[in-house]
C-alpha cells in the first residue's frame, strides 16, 4: 500500500511587511523555489495560523500584540497548498467574535480545513481527520490558556486539560492508524523545554499520540523518541515576522516531514531560514545545534547530572529574557513606601492598589497568574536571583 506524506509547518501568518506578497499569492518571492517544491511533493500540508484573517478593527483587550491580516492575504497560503490549519493558539481570538467568524469564513471559502477552536465551550472542534491510501490519520490541536478561552456563549480554543485531552486521545487512537498532536504552548524564546512540557508530551504519547509537536515558542527546541512516539519540542516559526529584526532565535525554523506506511512512520526535520519578507529552504541543512540539544535531552532523561545542569542553565538563561516584563507588571505606577502602607486600612489599601497599577499592568499580572508555564518562568527567575543573593551573602 502506498505511503502518506504530511508536511507540517510552524507558525505562519501574514504581517504588514509582506501583506502585498501574500495578497498577490507570490509564493516564489515569499518562500523560494526549493521550499515551494517541498510543499508540492507532500500529500497534505498543515500549519498553525497565528492570528485572525479579518478586516475588522476591534481587538480584544490584552497585554501584548493583537495579530490580524487582511482577508485577501490568504491567497499565498492557498497557493502554497495548505490543507489544514490549527487555530487553537495564542492569537486566534485577538479580534473576538468577529475575528473568529471572519477567519472561519475566509478559510472555508478557500478550502482550508481548520480545527482547535469552536463557537462556544460546548462545540470546540479539537481534531481533523485524513483518510488516504487506506489509512486514517487524526490531527489534534490543543493549547494553553491565554486570552482565548471559550465561554458558554462565546467562541474560543481547545484548552489543554490533561485528563480530558488524554481521554480524548485514547478514544481517537482506537479509531485511527496514526495520531498527531499539535500542542500550542511552552515558554516563548526557549530552546530547551521545561519539565512541565516534557511531562505533558510523555502523557499524551502514553495515551495514543504517535507524534507530538510544540508550536508557540518561536524557537527551535529538540526532538525525542519516546517509546514509539516522535516528540518535537519547539518547531520555531515558518513565516511569522511579528518582530522586524532577525535575531538568532528567530532566524531558523523546522518544517517536519512525516511519511506514514503500514510498517510505521518516519520523521524528517527540514531546516528553513528567515528572510526579510518570508523564509527559504536551508540548502546546507545545518541541524547540528538541534541534534546536539536533542542528545543532551536524551542524556538528561537517562539521569545524567551534567546534562540536567546544562538544560537547567540554558532554560534559566532563556527565562531571564522575561525578567523585565515580569517585574514591570508588579512594579506599579504609584508606589508608596512601606511605612505609609502600614498605616492604611484594608479599604484604603484596596484603593491604593487600584491607583498603583495601570490596566495594562493588571492584565500582565493576570497572564502570569493564569498560565502555568508563566508561573514556571516567574519561579525560575526568582529562584536564580535568590541563589545569586545567597552566594553573595555567603
Residue that finishes a domain, picked among 302, 335, 351:
302
Place of cell 541563589: 387
pLDDT tens per residue across span 76-121: 999 999 999 999 999 999 999 999 999 999 999 999 999 999 999 9
Domain identity same for 117 and 185: yes
Rg (CA), the chain: 22
Burial 216-226 (b: 16+ CB within 10 A, else e): bbbbbbbbbeb
Domain identity same for 332 and 266: no
Question: Chain-centre distance of CA 183, in angstroms?
Answer: 7
Residue that finishes a domain, picked among 302, 334, 357:
302
In 10 A of CB 239, how many CB atoms? 28
Question: What pLDDT does 334 receive?
Answer: 67
Residues in the chain: 394
User: Do strands 117-118 and 113-115 pair parallel, antiparallel, or not at all (unpaired)?
Assistant: unpaired
Question: Chain-centre distance of CA 48, in angstroms?
Answer: 8
Question: What pLDDT does 270 receive?
Answer: 98
In 10 A of CB 148, how many CB atoms? 24
Domain identity same for 330 and 386: yes
How far is it, in rounded angstroms, from Cα 394 to Cα 380?
21
What 3 state SS string does the chain have? Answer: CCCEEEEEEEEECCCHHHHHHHHCCCHHHHHHHHHHHHHHCCCEEEEEECCEECCCCCCCCCCCCCCEECHHHHHHHHHHCCCEEECCCCCCCCCHHHHHHHHHHHHHHCCCEEECEECCCCCEECEEEEEECCEEEEEEEEECCCCCCCECCECEECECCHHHHHHHHHHHHCCCCEEEEEEECCCCCCCCCCHHHHHHHHHHHHCCCCEEEEECCCCEEEEEEECCEEEEEEEEEEECCCCCCCCCCCCEEEEEEEEEECCEEEEEEEEEEECCCCEEECCCCCCHHHHHHHHHHHHHHCCCHHHHHHHHHHHHHHHHHHHHHHHHHHHCCCCCCHHHHHCCCHHHHHHHHHHHCCHHHHHHHHHHHHCHHHHHHHHHHHHHHHHHHHHHHC
Domain identity same for 271 and 132: yes
Residues whose CB is less than 8 angstroms from the CB of residue 270 and which lie 6 or more positions away in sequence, other chains included = 38, 254, 255, 256, 257, 281, 282, 285
Question: What pLDDT does 310 receive?
Answer: 93
* Phi-psi region at 303: left, alpha or beta (left = phi > 0; alpha = psi -120 to 50): left
| Edge-to-edge order in the sheet of strand 135-143 | 127-132, 135-143, 178-184, 211-215, 229-235, 220-226
We report the CATH number of the domain holding residue 119 as: 3.60.21.10
Question: Chain-centre distance of CA 326, in angstroms?
Answer: 20
Q: Give the mean pLDDT per block of 10 residues along the chain (394 residues).
A: 95 97 98 98 97 96 93 98 97 96 98 98 97 98 92 96 97 98 92 92 98 94 97 96 82 97 97 97 97 96 95 88 80 70 79 81 81 80 80 63
Place of cell 495578497: 23
Domain identity same for 284 and 319: no
Residue-number span of the structural domain to which 320 is assigned: 308-393
Contact criterion met (CB below 8 Å) for 68 and 99: yes
User: Per the structure, how many domains does the chain have?
Assistant: 2
Q: Which residues pair with 223 in a beta bridge?
A: 232
Q: Which residues pair with 48 in a beta bridge?
A: 11, 86
Domain identity same for 316 and 293: no
Domain identity same for 57 and 120: yes
Domain identity same for 26 and 113: yes
Place of cell 545545534: 289
Domain identity same for 60 and 131: yes
The predicted model scores a pTM of 0.90
Of the candidates 99, 4, 84, 118, the one whose C-alpha atom is nearest the C-alpha of residue 54 is 99
Domain identity same for 318 and 284: no
How far is it, in rounded angstroms, from Cα 394 to Cα 86?
51
Domain identity same for 274 and 188: yes
Domain identity same for 235 and 355: no
Residue that finishes a domain, picked among 277, 302, 327:
302
Amino acid at each position: 500500500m502506498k505511503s502518506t506524506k504530511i508536511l507540517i509547518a510552524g507558525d505562519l501568518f501574514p504581517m504588514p511587511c509582506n501583506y502585498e506578497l501574500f495578497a498577490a499569492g507570490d509564493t516564489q518571492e515569499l518562500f523560494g523555489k526549493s521550499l515551494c517544491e517541498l510543499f508540492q511533493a507532500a500529500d497534505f500540508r498543515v500549519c498553525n495560523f497565528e492570528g485572525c484573517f479579518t478586516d475588522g478593527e476591534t481587538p480584544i483587550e490584552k497585554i501584548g500584540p493583537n495579530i490580524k491580516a487582511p482577508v485577501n492575504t490568504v491567497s499565498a497560503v492557498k497557493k502554497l497548498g495548505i490543507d489544514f490549519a490549527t487555530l487553537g493558539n495564542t492569537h486566534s481570538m485577538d479580534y473576538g467574535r468577529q475575528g473568529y467568524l471572519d477567519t472561519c469564513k475566509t478559510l472555508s471559502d478557500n478550502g482550508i480545513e481548520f480545527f482547535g477552536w469552536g463557537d462556544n465551550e460546548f462545540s470546540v472542534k479539537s481534531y481533523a481527520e485524513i483518510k488516504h491510501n487506506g489509512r486514517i490519520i487524526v490531527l489534534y490541536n490543543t493549547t494553553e490558556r491565554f486570552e482565548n478561552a471559550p465561554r458558554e456563549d462565546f467562541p474560543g480554543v481547545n484548552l489543554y486539560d490533561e485528563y480530558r485531552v488524554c481521554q480524548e486521545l485514547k478514544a481517537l487512537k482506537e479509531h485511527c492508524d496514526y495520531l498527531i498532536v499539535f500542542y500550542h504552548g511552552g515558554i516563548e524564546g526557549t530552546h530547551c523545554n521545561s519539565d512541565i512540557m516534557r511531562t505533558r508530551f510523555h502523557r499524551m504519547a502514553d495515551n495514543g499520540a504517535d507524534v507530538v509537536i510544540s508550536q508557540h515558542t518561536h524557537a527551535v527546541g529538540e526532538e525525542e523518541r519516546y517509546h514509539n512516539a516522535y516528540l518535537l519540542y519547539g518547531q520555531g516559526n515558518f513565516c511569522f515576522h511579528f518582530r522586524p529584526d532577525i535575531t538568532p532565535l528567530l532566524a531558523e525554523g523546522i518544517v517536519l516531514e512525516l511519511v506514514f506506511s503500514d510498517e510505521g512512520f518516519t520523521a524528517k526535520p527540514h531546516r528553513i531560514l528567515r528572510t526579510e519578507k518570508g523564509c527559504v529552504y536551508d540548502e546546507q541543512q545545518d541541524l547540528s545545534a538541534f541534534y546536539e540539544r536533542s542528545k543532551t535531552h536524551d542524556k538528561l532523561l537517562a539521569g545524567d547530572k551534567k546534562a540536567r545542569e546544562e538544560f537547567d542553565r540554558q532554560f534559566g538563561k532563556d527565562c531571564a529574557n522575561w525578567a523585565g516584563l515580569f517585574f514591570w507588571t508588579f512594579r506599579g505606577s504609584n508606589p508608596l513606601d512601606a511605612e505609609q502602607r502600614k498605616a492604611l486600612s484594608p479599604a484604603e489599601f484596596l484603593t491604593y492598589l487600584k491607583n498603583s497599577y495601570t490596566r495594562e499592568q493588571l492584565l500582565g499580572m493576570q497572564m502570569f497568574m493564569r498560565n502555568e508555564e508563566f508561573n514556571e518562568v516567574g519561579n525560575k527567575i526568582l529562584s536564580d536571583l535568590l541563589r545569586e543573593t545567597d552566594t553573595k551573602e555567603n
